[in-house]
Amino acid sequence: MIDFFENPIQNILDHQKIAIRKKQALFLTKQDKKHEEIKTVGVRLQMEAMQLGFVFTNEALNSLLNETTVLKKEILNLFSQLTGANNIYRPFYENFPSEVLDQDDSVLYFNAILHYLSQGIWRLPYLKKNRVDLPLKDIEYKIIDLINVNDYLVLFENLLSSVSSISKDDMKSLEFFIRDFDSETLKKFLPKQIVFKEILCSFFGLCLLYEKNDLLENFELKTSTDILRVATFISGGDISLTTNTKFKLKRKVRKYLINNLEKVIIIEDIKRHEKKWKRLFHCLHIGEYKNAKKCNQIADLLRNEKLRTNNYIIEQALLELDFEKLMEFVPQNSGEFARRLDHLLRVFDENKANKILETFNNKISKISSKVLYQLLAHFRVRNNNQENIMHKELLDFRTRVIMPKGDVGKVKILKSKLPAISQIIVNNIINVIKQELLNRYKDLGNLGKVWISPSLKNAPIPLQMRSSSEGLKVIQRGTRLPIKKDKNILRFFVHWIGFDIDLSACFLTKDFLLYSQIAYFNLKGNDYKAVHSGDITYAPAPNGACEFIDIDLSSIKDKKIRYITLDVRVYSGPSFKYQNANVGWMFRDKLADEGEIFDARTVNQRISITNESQKTCLVAAFDILKNEIIWLDLKGSSSCLVSGNNVLSNVTNIRELLKSTVDFKEISLYELFYFHANARGELVENKEDANTVFDEDMIFKYEEVLAKYI
């Protein structure tokens, strides 16, 4: 069990942040003291939380009141960080938006020139006017409850059980669980198996680092690549193995890894990452361990470049279209066979394709559910066929977005049109996959009558969370969320510390053509009400700088405008990570000087952009026809062809990114739960009749989805 009284305050706060972020709750010992002094402090604490957009339940408040003053203060600081209220917000025009709307364009231009000539130092005199309080109807508070230790540790179990990548923040959460809870407590929440290799190897690495090897008793590293991942994790490298790592391992860890490697080492695994293995063998001092005979033998072959693997044979057979050899070697690895399935089907005739399909049917039970969902998403639109799509309205089948592994977070847009495959074969693949998934879920517990929220049709299953940005909410890219109809004003914001970051809004047509933009070079809209708070080119510590854009959605009358994008770019200086960039949006009722320009209570989303190499982030798009937010969090190009890294220089990339993601081709959460309903229960139309409810809040519980339903 964790003992708060023996842990530093930062360790306690680490767990509070996890509980608040994942469960909207505090993780504290339940207490209830009600003398008058406590009540007085409670009223003050509740009011401070409400100023940040949060409200404690009575149970949570009573427990927090009995904690130290330092902890109370730090909990409020966590609320500030989550919403972005911990920053100082002083835009160029401090009486935004009216000061910009009422100002002549020539004055706006003259002020910008003075700011640029002074290298970003000159600002307008500080003449901030009093602002009218924000109406309470503009505020939707986030409820903070109290969570017990068992419910809290379910998060640990779910993260370990995930069948796909988890975010960096959640990987850090795993570390906090292992660091602060004793082994006996954690053992009660260990899953029977850890399916996803990156999570398994991170778990091994953390247990070795914190000397809790007893947690590893029921788990094993089954491949050489597993050993490589563990060594990479302990050395602080990229566990997805996308980038190279400078290995740093203690003698005890080296011995543990070599003992495990000797049991599982095979040439194919070593050859797959041969450059990394050359570095790791050197770090392991493999020659010192004479008993590791297989390891030393393969290390010698690697040094002398004499390794030859099945993969080499497969690639040669593909070049020569040697069907017999391909069918001998490719199916040996079920996951690899699944990933090569489309390629094999399109390079051979229909007779051979039927034999490939037969082999696939025999191997499907060994293919992970994650890969099956990826295959299903691919093949159901393979020949531009929409029959198998529940959410319909796919615009362009020929454009695909690929999300690279690792920390890059940068998408690749593929436009190539694949040769057609027999629709009969495609339909067979789809049906076989569906039946296999249903068979797998039948063995799970009965769900009774099941109701699924229709809004889940707008959310893809969360299979690409590795590079998700830290923020108030963490959701899968491509997810659509409703905009409340009573909110007319969309307010974008960005805050940073460093040099020059620009906030922009692009207005695009239904065909993704640029209609207009609001940016540092165009502060006001012409035929709609939109306004920028002014360009700031220098943001020194400690306060940094900020920019805002207000858009009156009700003022957009031109039917040509369909989408509005929230775009953030580094114009000068290092990448986002080194400028502490935070970006998000809030909603207001009307375009006026009501409330503070930044009011944490109205923040709908805030993310921290921490990508090390990128200088562009397409944060979100707003579909004003459907009144929906489309979550993107994509790092695009940073072309400076026209006049620096701005939206005009990158229109094509913005269009392509939006076009490729606005109507996702992945399996939706609705379809995932639909499989479960068919296999484990009965689907009902009314929520009130259901024993099991999959509500819209499942969008924000991606770790539970990955652990229990895929």
Query: Distances from the Cα of 563 to the Cαs of 507, 516, 621, 663, 689, in angstroms?
Result: 6, 11, 6, 13, 38
289 lies in the same domain as 338: no
CA distance 463 to 447: 24
Mean pLDDT of the 230-242 span? 94
Check whether 650 has a pLDDT greater than 50: yes
Check whether 238 has a pLDDT greater than 50: yes
Binning pLDDT at 50, 70 and 90, where does residue 107 land?
A: very high
Residue 317: what pLDDT?
86
Check whether 258 has a pLDDT greater than 70: yes
Two tokens, residue 326: 């391909």
215 lies in the same domain as 355: no
339 lies in the same domain as 253: no
DSSP state string for 662-708: SS--SPBHHHHHHHHHHHHEEE-S-GGG-SEEE-GGGGG-HHHHHHH
| Amino acid identity at 296 | N
Residue 628: what pLDDT?
94
pLDDT over 90 percentage in the chain: 67
Q: Can you list the positions of beta strands (E) in 473-529?
A: 480-482, 489-496, 500-509, 514-518
Q: Quick check: is 655 in a domain?
A: no
Residue 411: what pLDDT?
60
CA distance 89 to 91: 6
Residue 397: what pLDDT?
45
Number of folded domains that form the chain: 3
338 lies in the same domain as 370: yes
Lowest mean pLDDT among 299-308, 557-566, 696-705: 299-308
Q: Quick check: is 12 in a domain?
A: no
Interstrand relation of 616-623 and 603-609 (parallel, antiparallel or unpaired): unpaired
Q: Quick check: is 273 in a domain?
A: yes
Which residue carries 């379809």 as its tokens?
671
Final residue belonging to a domain, choices 304, 322, 347:
304
CA distance 132 to 198: 51
Q: Quick check: is 29 in a domain?
A: no
676 lies in the same domain as 695: yes
Q: Can you list the positions of beta strands (E) in 334-474?
A: 400-402, 412-414, 448-452, 470-471
CA distance 54 to 673: 31
173 lies in the same domain as 251: yes
Which residues are registered as beta bridge partners of 507?
Answer: 516, 564
Q: What tens digit of pLDDT does each residue of 5-45 get?
A: 456 778 889 999 999 999 999 998 766 555 555 678 888 99
Q: What tens digit of pLDDT does each residue of 313-365 get?
A: 888 888 888 899 889 888 888 888 999 999 999 999 889 999 999 999 999 99
Mean pLDDT of the 423-435 span? 94
Q: What tens digit of pLDDT does each residue of 162-203 get?
A: 999 999 999 999 999 999 999 999 999 999 999 999 999 999
From the centroid of its chain, how far is CA 534? 30
Q: What tens digit of pLDDT does each residue of 356-409 get?
A: 999 999 999 999 999 999 999 999 888 876 555 544 444 444 456 666 554 444
Q: What tens digit of pLDDT does each residue of 56-69 get?
A: 999 999 899 888 88
Residue 34: what pLDDT?
57
178 lies in the same domain as 223: yes
DSSP state string for 611-628: -SS--EEEEEEEETTTTE
Q: Which residues contact 200 (CB under 8 A, 6 or more apart)?
A: 194, 219, 221, 226
Check whether 434 has a pLDDT greater than 90: yes
Q: Quick check: is 184 in a domain?
A: yes
188 lies in the same domain as 259: yes
300 lies in the same domain as 379: no
185 lies in the same domain as 260: yes
Mean pLDDT of the 660-679 span? 91
Final residue belonging to a domain, choices 404, 438, 472:
438
Q: Quick check: is 18 in a domain?
A: no
Mean pLDDT (the chain, rounded): 89
DSSP state string for 565-624: EEEEEEEESS-GGGGTEEEEEEEESSSSSBS-SS-GGGEEEEEEE--SS--EEEEEEEET
Check whether 637 has a pLDDT greater than 80: no
Sheet with 561-572, side-by-side order of all strands: 480-482, 628-634, 616-623, 561-572, 500-509, 514-518
157 lies in the same domain as 203: yes
Mean pLDDT of the 589-604 span? 87
Check whether 438 has a pLDDT greater than 90: yes
Residue 643: what pLDDT?
64
220 lies in the same domain as 291: yes
Q: Quick check: is 497 in a domain?
A: no
Residue 332: what pLDDT?
87
Residue 225: what pLDDT?
96
Domain containing 695: what range?
A: 444-461+667-709
Residue 459: what pLDDT?
95
Nearest-5° Cα angle at 592, 591 to 596: 115
Check whether 570 has a pLDDT greater than 60: yes
Q: Which residues contact 68 (CB under 8 A, 6 or more apart)?
A: none
Residue 335: what pLDDT?
87
